[in-house]
Amino acid sequence: MEPFSKRLEKAVRRTNGCLCVGLDVDAAKMPQGFTPDAPGAAAFCKAIIDATRDLAAAYKPNLAFFEALGKGGWEAFEAVRAAVPAECLFVADAKRGDIGNTSQAYASAFFGRLHCDALTVAPYMGRDSVDPFLSYEGTCAFVLCLTSNPSAADFETQELASGGKLYQRVARTAVTWGQASKGEVGLVAGATRPEHLKALRALAPDAPFLVPGVGAQGGDLETVLRDAKNSSGYGLLVNASRSILYASKGADFTEAARREAEKMVSAMRPHFK
């Protein structure tokens, strides 16, 4: 299989954008006509995918919302995976991470069994907790680096005695893990901290970046597009979830979702000519 970066480049070229549609499906917010359960959530996600597949470079369901649906949730997740067309990347936002043999089980679940293209993983436990996610060709493990929530200041932006902040060490260290592995290492870098985003790109010039926080969380899209592309001019996914999924609660929800997606991709086009 082609490396993840190559496939990402293709998806960006196809859509002239780097939109990742976050499938944060909330049963309480779904439009009328969908039952607030696992089958309803799967049907809603499929409708969103069908309405946006030519605009989306990637889809990113967050496992939390599927797990909240009970045992039917995983079935719904698998159905959503199956509904994503081959030309779009499928990023499982699961933020997994554990000691070696346990991370191996997670990797087998998401890459081996579900054929996800990428997975978000947690860095706290260090290299041996991430390594098992790097043994699947064509995939990417997006390591949490700098997140868009206010409490990122608790630990992520703490200064280290050796110099630099924790998230900078995570970036520098994590990219080395992917240098000789089958899978790639990417970074999750929040859009709400533009000054950091630019610095982060300098530390990791080639790695794919997954950037949440544009839209409902307030990050500025132009700044992200200017500062976060990689050295080859691609290597970037910008995520939007709620602004697209819940653009309308009415029968026009697919049109409204498409309109919001189109709005984002329009802003992206000048950056990917």
Catalytic residue annotation: 95
Closer by beta carbon to a second copy, 106 or else 209: 106
159 binds a second copy (CB under 8 A): yes
> How many CB atoms neighbour CB 214 within 10 A?
27
Nearer to a second copy, 125 or 267 (CB): 125
Any contact of residue 125 with a second copy (CB under 8 A)? Answer: yes
Residue 148 near a second copy by CB under 8 A: yes
d(C-alpha 88, C-alpha 256), whole Å: 21
Rounded to a whole number of angstroms, the minimum distance from the CB of residue 101 to a second copy is 8
C-alpha to C-alpha distance for 91 and 253, rounded to whole angstroms:
23
Q: Does 68 bind a second copy (CB under 8 A)?
A: yes
DSSP track, 88-146: SEEEEEEEE--SHHHHHHHHIIIIIIT--SEEEE--TT-HHHHGGGG-STT-EEEEEEE
- The C-alpha angle 240, 58, 86, rounded to 5 degrees, equals 155
Q: Does 74 bind a second copy (CB under 8 A)?
A: yes
Q: Quick count: other Cβ atoms within 10 Å of Cβ 77? A: 26
Q: Which of residues 231-260 bind a second copy (CB under 8 A)?
A: none
Report the nearest approach of a second copy to the CB of residue 81 (Å). Answer: 11
82 contacts a second copy (rule: CB under 8 A): no
Are 32 and 249 in contact, with CB atoms under 8 Å apart? yes
Name the one range near a second copy by CB under 8 A: 41-49, 90-98, 232-240, 262-270. 90-98
Q: Which is nearer to a second copy, 5 or 239 (CB)?
A: 239
Size of residue set near a second copy by CB under 8 A: 59
